[in-house]
Structure 1
Amino acid sequence: MNYRLSEQQKLIKKTVSSLLKDLVPTDKFRQIIETEGFSKKSWEKLAKDGWIGMLADSQSPDEAFSLMDMICVSEEIGAKLFLGPYSLVSSFIVPVLTQLLPEGEQEKSLETVINGKKLMTAVLPSARTKRQEVVVNWGGLSITEDDDNIYLSGQNEHVQFAQYADAILLPVENTWGGISLAIIEKDTTGLIVESESSVDLSRRLATLRFDNVKIEKNAFIGGWNADHRQVLTENLASYILCLNSEMIGGAQKVLEKTVEHVKERKQFGHSIAVYQAVKHQLADMYTFIENAKSYNFYTTWKLLNEPKDSLLHVAASRVYAVEMYKDVCEKAIQLQGGMGFTWEQETHFWYKSALYHQNHIASARTIKRFIFNNL
């Protein structure tokens, strides 16, 4: 395979980078995270320019984008720390709805998401290790039912931007052992949304509390007894690769800011960039980022062309990206003499993002156990 970006992909990165720079300049970014935490106007602009619906089937063959193009966009999203669930919506929710919704319902539920009129978030699974086995939990809500309805009780934690969302894509483990899927509106009776504190200031989280929430059985996509586990798992892999790309973009931005700092910082009359110890740290950061980028690019190609045996590569690339991101940010803070963790220097924004990714969906330890168990 060719690891170089195509001309279209280079243009995508340049265009998105320019757009994000205009949408959320540094001073506005600080203002948003200190106040509302999400800019509806910026989200609608991103949607208007077509970036939300890149993986929808609505484009003509000549205009269609692939997951390989999507990871280029996600890299710029991570570099800017865009305040919104971009990868979640674009690489998970949109393709899931595209594949599962009947054509007559797509205009109602999908088009409003793609054009930015409705913000939809999703409840994602969590994985943990139990007796050396990896257990995946798709929500864990308690269920009661009658002839026509399902009643849900319990809670889902750490749902991205749920306090700003208009609707939620909700997976539920049904009584047949499958994963049913429903779209519920935020104002559904019995649904309570509570904001959480998040270490990542660019990614707001919330807890969904279900107090005997009623959903008609025929309101589930494909019916209550449908099993969408395979479709959800396939698109979850795409989402993880886009998150990897966000981390790569963030790490690249941190490296750029660190190089600028060491060139300007003087010690004994010389820029500290001339010292070997500093050069070695920067070289390590660069190598770590490039390795993560190449592996993520290869894994994306693998998922698109040889999906049968690509899941272990997705898991391994996730571990590598998570560890790379945290390591690069910590080295940057060290090279900046601790200034990187001050509010003015900004590196701490990406470091906090790296800390969030340590346990998103699964910890690195759990993923390593999954890889070990499936070798």
Structure 2
Amino acid sequence: MITTDEQEELRRTVRALLERNPPARPAPDAEPGYDKTAWRLLAEQVGAFGLAVPEAYGGAGCTAVETHVVCEELGRALTPVPYLGSAVLATEALLACGATDPLPGLADGSRVGSLAWAENGTWDPAAIRAHVEDGRLTGVKDHVLDGAHADLFVVPARTREGGLGVYLAEASSPAVRIEPLVTLDRTRLQARVTFDTAPVRLICADGHRVLERLIAVAATALSAEQLGGGERCLEMTLAHVKTREQFGRPIGSFQAVRHRLADLYVLVESARSVSYDAAHALAAHAPDLAVRAATAQAYCAEAFSAVAAETIQLHGGIGFTWEHEAHLYFKRAHSAAELFGDAAWHRSRLGPVVLGR
């Protein structure tokens, strides 16, 4: 079974909340921002931001599967809230490091945490060049999710000896400079963060261990968002082909269109299988988690991109307009396919594991 009855009830609750409070879509000339209503309701009525946080620190003490369900629904609605960056990545990083003092604020949604990780366009730990000397961090981090609204940053950086540690930095420090980025996907907020000898606190000396888990966490959670987006694209397309007519009949009645829709259905359902397989592996701390997470990310990224492209095509001219939602899913699909490493990078990580090297 992919989900339990309780997890399905969580899904229904989150979906109903988001349907009652649909996000305002970004206008071409508007500054992108969060949906503060959805953010507040998810925090207060669902406790979504604290699902992964132990009860001792104000959370619900749930498994990765519950978080996965929420990520799927947020990806389905493209709701701009600081969930993936704060409730998933920053929270998991703090838990992996045993740094529990910031968790209550993240769990109730009153504070935003951000994992400042990527450098020079890559999430490969070997590429990290930010470094710490005498408790001061210097370096530049790219593609920082929710960085422009963060209260604190969890930052992997090199130690004086060349090892990899994980540090905690306050966003309010004058030595931290935050630059919001203009990206293809305006429903996902990113920033570039520059640390200019910023004061930091070491929270874990074994950064390689933490980042290996965080790569799996990020890949798994992102696959849930991609699954949700693919589901919604398929739903929109099915509704459209039932009402759009050519030659006096709905285009969905033509065999060629039906074949294309069947292919999309297979992609979405296959994505569901691999995505939830990774979520269960994450929840169980499975020894083959790296393989299952990389597989989920590689497959779901390509599946969502294919489904979103077909959604544009099968909607015809309206699918290319700003007024229709199809373009938002297309942009999310292609930008998410590069987030945390593209499909080729995740497959390259699979090779040595599968071959036993």
* TM-score normalised per structure 1: 0.86
State the match for 2:44 in structure 1: 48
SS where residue 217 of structure 2 aligns? helix
Seen in structure 2, the aligned counterparts of structure 1 residues 361 and 288 have a Cα distance that, compared at 3 Å, is same
Report deviation, 1:45: 2.7
Q: Which moved more, 1:28-37 or 1:304-313?
A: 28-37
Report deviation, 1:354: 0.8
State the match for 1:7 in structure 2: 5
Task: Among all aligned residue pairs of Structure 1 and Structure 2, give the percentage whose two residues are the same amino acid.
Answer: 27
Seen in structure 2, the aligned counterparts of structure 1 residues 46 and 210 have a Cα distance that, compared at 3 Å, is same
SS where residue 9 of structure 2 aligns? helix
**Whole-angstrom CA distance in 1 between matches of 2:82 and 2:165:** 23
1:183 to 168, 185, 195: 168
Report deviation, 1:59: 6.4
The residue correspondences of 1:101-112 to structure 2 (distance < 5 A) are: 101=98, 106=101, 109-112=102-105
**Whole-angstrom CA distance in 1 between matches of 2:334 and 2:87:** 23
- Whether the 8 Å contact between 2:219 and 2:340 is mirrored in structure 1 is no
Q: How far does the alpha carbon of each residue in 1:81-100 deviate from its partner, in whole angstroms, 9 at most, with x for none?
A: 11023123222222332343
Report deviation, 1:187: 2.1
State the match for 1:240 in structure 2: 219
State the match for 1:361 in structure 2: 340
**Whole-angstrom CA distance in 1 between matches of 2:56 and 2:16:** 23
SS where residue 239 of structure 1 aligns? helix
Seen in structure 2, the aligned counterparts of structure 1 residues 309 and 128 have a Cα distance that, compared at 3 Å, is farther
1:256 aligns with 2:235: yes
Report deviation, 1:18: 1.1
State the match for 1:121 in structure 2: 114
Q: How far does the alpha carbon of each residue in 1:46-71 deviate from its partner, in whole angstroms, 9 at most, with x for none?
A: 222310010111169xx642112221
Seen in structure 2, the aligned counterparts of structure 1 residues 288 and 351 have a Cα distance that, compared at 3 Å, is same
Which amino acid is the alignment partner of residue 111 of structure 2?
K
Seen in structure 2, the aligned counterparts of structure 1 residues 372 and 102 have a Cα distance that, compared at 3 Å, is closer
SS where residue 168 of structure 1 aligns? strand
**Whole-angstrom CA distance in 1 between matches of 2:9 and 2:191:** 35
**Whole-angstrom CA distance in 1 between matches of 2:99 and 2:220:** 27
1:140 to 129, 135, 145: 129
1:221 aligns with 2:199: no
State the match for 1:265 in structure 2: 244
- Whether the 8 Å contact between 2:80 and 2:188 is mirrored in structure 1 is yes
**Whole-angstrom CA distance in 2 between matches of 1:97 and 1:306:** 17
Provide the alpha-carbon RMSD of the alignment: 2.6
- Whether the 8 Å contact between 2:32 and 2:187 is mirrored in structure 1 is no
Q: How far does the alpha carbon of each residue in 1:97-116 deviate from its partner, in whole angstroms, 9 at most, with x for none?
A: 2343456xx2xx21111111
State the match for 2:64 in structure 1: 67
**Whole-angstrom CA distance in 2 between matches of 1:373 and 1:267:** 52
1:202 aligns with 2:187: yes
Seen in structure 2, the aligned counterparts of structure 1 residues 122 and 42 have a Cα distance that, compared at 3 Å, is same
**Whole-angstrom CA distance in 1 between matches of 2:304 and 2:313:** 14
**Whole-angstrom CA distance in 2 between matches of 1:303 and 1:95:** 11
Q: Number of matched residues?
A: 352
Seen in structure 2, the aligned counterparts of structure 1 residues 21 and 179 have a Cα distance that, compared at 3 Å, is farther
1:85 aligns with 2:96: no
Comparing both chains, which one has the higher relative contact order based on Cα–Cα distances under 8 Å and sequence gaps of 6 or more? 1
Seen in structure 2, the aligned counterparts of structure 1 residues 21 and 59 have a Cα distance that, compared at 3 Å, is farther
Which amino acid is the alignment partner of residue 44 of structure 2?
K
- Whether the 8 Å contact between 1:33 and 1:201 is mirrored in structure 2 is no
Q: Which moved more, 1:114-123 or 1:11-20?
A: 114-123
State the match for 1:100 in structure 2: 97
Seen in structure 2, the aligned counterparts of structure 1 residues 178 and 21 have a Cα distance that, compared at 3 Å, is farther
Seen in structure 2, the aligned counterparts of structure 1 residues 75 and 135 have a Cα distance that, compared at 3 Å, is closer
- Whether the 8 Å contact between 1:91 and 1:235 is mirrored in structure 2 is no
Report deviation, 1:310: 2.5
State the match for 2:54 in structure 1: 57
**Whole-angstrom CA distance in 1 between matches of 2:143 and 2:256:** 40
State the match for 1:323 in structure 2: 302
**Whole-angstrom CA distance in 2 between matches of 1:101 and 1:308:** 21
State the match for 2:18 in structure 1: 20
Report deviation, 1:287: 0.5
- Whether the 8 Å contact between 1:261 and 1:336 is mirrored in structure 2 is yes
Report deviation, 1:126: 6.1
Q: Which moved more, 1:280-289 or 1:310-319?
A: 310-319
**Whole-angstrom CA distance in 2 between matches of 1:369 and 1:286:** 27
Structure 1: segments with no counterpart, 5+ residues: none
1:158 to 140, 143, 150: 143
